[in-house]
Every structure is written in structure tokens, then in C-alpha cells.
Structure 1
Amino acid sequence: MSHHYDYLAHAVLALGASHLTVNTGADWTPQTLYHRTTALRLISERLSEPIESSAEGDALMGALICLAGQSSFLANSVHEYVNLTRGSYLVSQAVVLPLNGSMFKSITDARHLDLLITMFEEQPKDVALIEEYRDYVESLSKICKEEHELQYQSLLYRAISLLSTKPLDAVRTFTAVFVLPCLFDNDSFSDFIREDNHTANLLVANMFLLDYLLGQTCMPKRETPKFGGRKDVIIAWVHKVVSRLPEAYRDFGDFPLRFCKILATYDPRYLFWP
């Protein structure tokens, strides 16, 4: 399909270049940036006109998924990752799913959760670490000023609280955490992804960290990804978020940094979101 749609071809090449850069040590950064920016430009141009065929809708959706996945390989793109994830969701709801014959009609959040449930196997867990993480996430409510921040924090807290005793319910709740920014209204979302919104930055950073903790406690070792470069990028993201915290927020960066040291010793299992 990609040879019929330039934006999809560039998105696939961008994802491939990032994968090689992160996981092989080769530097494909110039190619990554070229194909990414070209794909984004072409997608923006195409979305300015109606999409009338399921094939083109699927190509657009595939390109956006590639670019969202690629964002998790880029050291500076935590906000772009959230932005593209929401963009993919909105395009799927408004453009792709209404088209008859779309291959993405069956690829939904509920379907992804069903897949995770079939893969789920409870693993040994560090209850003390989980409880410490739970207490830390609870403390983040102190710096949540907006309703959408509190919504996100409360779902994170529920997911980590369930992990010790009901890990499958923790996975279900984490699905809601991942999807929540897609459901924010435009003003709330714009506020949530501001680079100077330190509360939101910490919340999103902890979503990524919790993703890996859930992977360790809910996914069998046979599901370990063959390449672990994404985990290193996530750790770098968290360090960057913490390094930018103003003095009043510094204490809230201590636990994420300590957890990153633990995460560095883990294998790269996570819940297989893009």
C-alpha cells in the first residue's frame, strides 16, 4: 500500500530509520528527520480535503500510527508522542471508522485490551516497590491544579493501587490512562502538553514508567521485545522532564529518577502500546 501513498511511505521509512538508530548504534538521524517532517507535511496537506475511500483512510491511519510509534524512539518528542497519539485517535474516529471497509474498524482500544488479556500472565512482583510507587503517585495530586490533571492522576493512582492484588484490573485501568488525553477537549489538551506544564510532564513520564512496571508484572518473559532501545529513550525522557522542574517541584522528581535506575536493570517488557 505504501507505494501508492507518499505520506505512508515516508512514515514507514521514518520509523525504520529511528528503529535502526536506537537499536543498532548506527546514526540515521538525518534520514529520520527528513522522512518524518515530509510525512507530517504530506498528511497535513491531505487532511485539508475530504477522505472518501477506505484505502486512503487506512493509509493515513497507518502513517499516523507509524509516526506515533516513531516518536517513542526520539529523545525530544514526549509531547509529540502524546500529540500524535491523540491525532491518530481523532483521525480514526472522524475520518477512518466512518468509511466502509476500513481495516482499522476492528483495531480499537478494546481490541488491544483483549489482546493484552490473552497475553496476561501474573509474574513475581516487588510489593514494597509498588506500594512506594502508589504513595508517590498519590502525592502528585498536591500539584494538580486543573480537572484534567486530576483525572489523569486519579487513573494512574488506581492502576498502581490495583497492581499488587488485581494486576489484570491494573492493566485494564492503564488502558484508560493511555486513552484519556485523546478524550480531553482542545483547551484541556493544549494545556496538558505545554512544555512548561510541569505537573502534566510528570504525569506523562509516570505513565511511561508504569507501562514498564506493568510489563514486568503482567507479561511473561516470552513476550520480551527483541530490541530494547525504546526503554532507554523513555529513561532519557524522564531525566529530561525532571531536569526541567522548578525548585517548587524538585522533590516530585526524586522517585522517578530512582525508579529509572531500577528500570535500567529490567528487560524491556511493556504493554505493547505504540
Structure 2
Amino acid sequence: MTDEALPDQEIAIPDRAGTRQLIKCRPIPRKGHRKSRAGCFTCKRRKVKCNEAIPECGQCRRLELDCQYESTPRSQPREADWTLGRPLSATPSTFQMQDLRFFQHFLLTAYPTLPPQGDETWQGVGQMSHQYDFLVHAMLGLGASHLGMLDEQGYRESALMHRIKAIKLMNKFLSRRDPPTVPNRDAALGTILCLTYQSAYIADGMTDFLIMIRGCYILGPDMGGDWSTSLFNGFVRKTYVNTVTELMPPRQQPEPLDEAVLKGFLASARRVATLCQSLAEMEVLALVQEIAMPAATDLAHCYLLHSYLYEKLAQLTTDEFNSFIDPQNHVSRLVIMHMLTVVFVISRKEVGAASADHRSTATDGKGVYACRKSMAVQWVQKMISELADEYRPYSLWLESFVNGLSFSFTKRDEIWKPFLLHNGTTIVAKFEGLGLG
């Protein structure tokens, strides 16, 4: 209450003649006190101030009254179940100048290669990223990881920091169960794709890679809705296969190298099939073989079948999937090696180059495709080195094949150069016997 609101009071003061004169003066406001809401029932009923002493307040003790308090403390008002205009991030992230380089590198070079010819898709994702903090961190993490493979500075700590933030913020976003609007779905799928591709640039990221791929297939249907207006409508299987087919020029007669690679790969897979015990191992390896069979004559069909491969992981139960990715499960390790290697068997330069000739490259000429494939080779080599001795014979062909792969990191060269080339003639004789028994 302000001074103007205080009423005037009259005070009688005797003057020198002995008469009393009324003098108006402003009252002295009394010192206020905190209004108690937690006092005892007796003081509340008497409308007096309670000092809230426990177990007996001062007023009740002085007057020898029965002092009683509320048995449970008053609960705080419950937050509303919904709010209007709820911000996507309550705690804005702090970014550094270096992050601008990661963001630029992502938009120009490091964005995922799916969907095919997806540069416009990822430009659209970049334009909406300021509304979703988890998406921004996923993009920065992928940009940092890819740049780290091309730059001596590494950026490993920055890439890992952004990855951890993206995962935490993504989990928080999914737990809110916000309406499955098209932007929300696009942001979530874009984030998990960035995290998946970032895994492919991490030396020990293979398990994360498989988990994230499984998450992509689980997340999409779980969010529901119509994907026709989504930035990622190119992921519809029919659209994907049609796009890849258009990128491929008509194949000529199978080359001797194609047939030799295909023959060795299928023989290696058949040997591993004799070890499979679980249904997951059998089904995945059978699909891998089915993908590879038409590699020498019908690549379009290979890519159609390959679009089902990682979807198979989402069809496994949690227990089946955990068993499948268990590092101590050596049979499943052999199956995973063939999963990773089949892409080399069906890969051709024309598909990658036709789809990527618009994509910028780093100053040293290294490209996005070779980085990812180079890491897959490292994963296979690492798994082979960790196999128990009794399983090593089943990896001999794969070991010879991946050790013969060459990555020049330029678009002019083939995506893979298996075995040795001598004056234009493929030398495969020393490898034909591997894995055929």
C-alpha cells in the first residue's frame, strides 16, 4: 500500500495558550509480516498470527490450547498437462564458431546419401533445423565426424559432444509424445539418419550403426501419419528403387571380375550358413545371398532386395537382436561381415557418381562415399581379428577380399578395386579357391 492510500489522522496538541489544536499528520505504517498459510488450525480459527513452532506453537502454549497442524504439507499446484506455444527447447544450446564449419560441411558434403539424389531433401532439413535442437546437434555431429576423417585435427571430441546432446534431446522429444506432424516426423527421422551415418564414421561404431538402422525402421511406422508430403518421401521403397534404377546405365555383358567376386562371395556365405543356429542368423544370411545372386546381370533387382536387408533387423525381437549383435556370438559376427561386404559386391561406380556429381568434396579431394566404405572395411577387418580360431577358416575369402579393396577417395576411380589388375587383365586365379570348399 502506498503513502497516498493511507488515511490522515488528527492529533490534539496543546499550544502555548493552553488551547488544544488539532493537527493532521500522516500515520506511520505498521511493520508488515509474512502472512502464514502453514499455521496451526487453532490460530487460524482465532485469526491470530501463528509462529508455526513444532510441535506446539507459541500462542497455543501460552494459552494452553490444543495445537494441531495439517497432517500433510500442502502440495504445489500441478503443472498443466498441456501448454500453448510450448517452445521446442527450454534451454537454448550454446554454439561455437567452429560449429559453423561443421554445419557448412554437412550441408555441402557430409549429409547422408539416402534418399538417392537427396540434396534437396537435406537442404530442406537444414532450413527447419533451427526449430529442433536435437536435429541441429545431430547435423553438427555428422559434419564434425566426416570432416574429422578428412582433416588432421580430428574433431573427435566435438563430434562426440554433439552426438551425446542429440541423443539426449531426441529421447526427451520422443518421450513428450508430441503430435506426429509432418515437421516433427521429418525432424525425428532426419536426426536418427544423421546419427546412423555418423556411426559409420566411428571406428568402434558398428554396434551403434546397427542399433540406429533398426531404430529408423521402428521409428517411422511408430510415428504414423501420411508420408506423402514428407521431405523423406523418397524413402518409399518404390520411389527409392526407381531412382536408383534411373541412375544406372544399361549393363553390358558380365565382366570376368564381377563373376569371380560373386562366385567367391556366395561360396563364403554358404559355408557360414552351415554354422547358423538361430533363426535370425539363417534369415539374414539367406537374404544376403539372395541380394548378391543377380549382381552380375541385374543390379536394379539387387538394390530392390537390399532395401529389405536392414529392415530385417527391425523385425527381430529385442532378445533376438541383442543376441545377433553380441560380440561373443562369432557366428553372427560372420553373418554381419557378409551383410557389410555385400554392398561392395553390388556396388558400381556409375551409381555413386551419377548420384553424387553435384556434391562438394573436401580440399584434399576425398569424397563422402569412400569414407563410409573405408570404415566398413575396418569393421570387417576388426571382426575377423577378434574371431575365435575355430571360426577363422570361415572368414578367409572375406579377409582376402576386403584386404584387396582400394579407396582412392576420388570420383574418377571405382568404388572398389578388388584383387590385382595387371595391364587391364584381372588376376583372380589365386583367389578362386578360397571359400569354395
- One fold, TM greater than 0.5? yes
Higher RCO, Cα 8 Å, sep 6+: 1
2:170 counterpart of 1:43: yes
Deviation at 1:164, TM superposition (A): 2.6
The one of 201, 213, 216 equivalent to 1:85 is 213
Does 50-59 or 129-138 show the bigger shift? Answer: 50-59
Taking structure 1 as reference, are residues 20 and 217 closer, same or farther at Cα in structure 2, changes over 3 Å only? closer
CA distance in 1, matches of 2:303, 2:209: 21
Runs (5+) with no aligned partner, structure 2: 1-127, 358-366, 417-437
- The match for 2:403 is 261
Which structure would you say has the larger Rg?
A: 2
Deviation at 1:72, TM superposition (A): 0.8
- The match for 1:248 is 390
SS in 2 for 1:234: helix
Deviations 1:114-159 (A, max 9, x none): 2211112337641122111111111110121111110111111112
The one of 312, 316, 328 equivalent to 1:180 is 312
SS in 2 for 1:149: helix
2:157 counterpart of 1:30: yes
Deviation at 1:246, TM superposition (A): 1.0
- The match for 1:213 is 345
Runs (5+) with no aligned partner, structure 1: none
Deviations 1:221-266 (A, max 9, x none): 5456733222221111111111111122111222221111222257
CA distance in 2, matches of 1:158, 1:97: 32
Q: Which amino acid aligns with 2:236?
A: T
Taking structure 1 as reference, are residues 184 and 155 closer, same or farther at Cα in structure 2, changes over 3 Å only? same
Contact 2:324 2:332 in 1 (8 A): yes
* Aligned positions of 1:1-274 closer than 5 A: 1-52=128-179, 53-95=181-223, 97=225, 101-121=229-249, 122=251, 125=255, 126=257, 127-216=259-348, 219=351, 221-223=353-355, 226-227=367-368, 228-264=370-406, 267=413, 269=415
SS in 1 for 2:387: coil
Taking structure 1 as reference, are residues 13 and 144 closer, same or farther at Cα in structure 2, changes over 3 Å only? same
SS in 1 for 2:296: coil
Contact 1:61 1:96 in 2 (8 A): no
CA distance in 1, matches of 2:414, 2:140: 24
TM-score normalised by L of structure 1: 0.89
Taking structure 1 as reference, are residues 221 and 102 closer, same or farther at Cα in structure 2, changes over 3 Å only? closer
CA distance in 2, matches of 1:168, 1:138: 23
Deviation at 1:167, TM superposition (A): 3.1
Contact 2:276 2:282 in 1 (8 A): yes
CA distance in 1, matches of 2:414, 2:166: 28
Structure 1 or 2: larger helix share? 1
Deviation at 1:208, TM superposition (A): 2.0
Contact 2:268 2:398 in 1 (8 A): no
CA distance in 2, matches of 1:104, 1:174: 19
Q: Which amino acid aligns with 1:206?
A: H
Contact 2:261 2:345 in 1 (8 A): no
Contact 1:21 1:29 in 2 (8 A): yes
Deviation at 1:35, TM superposition (A): 0.5
CA distance in 2, matches of 1:221, 1:103: 23
Aligned length: 270
SS in 2 for 1:176: coil
SS in 1 for 2:404: helix
TM-score normalised by L of structure 2: 0.57
Deviations 1:22-64 (A, max 9, x none): 1333311000110001111111122112120322222111111
Q: CA RMSD in A?
A: 2.4
Deviation at 1:183, TM superposition (A): 2.1
Does 162-171 or 112-121 show the bigger shift? Answer: 162-171
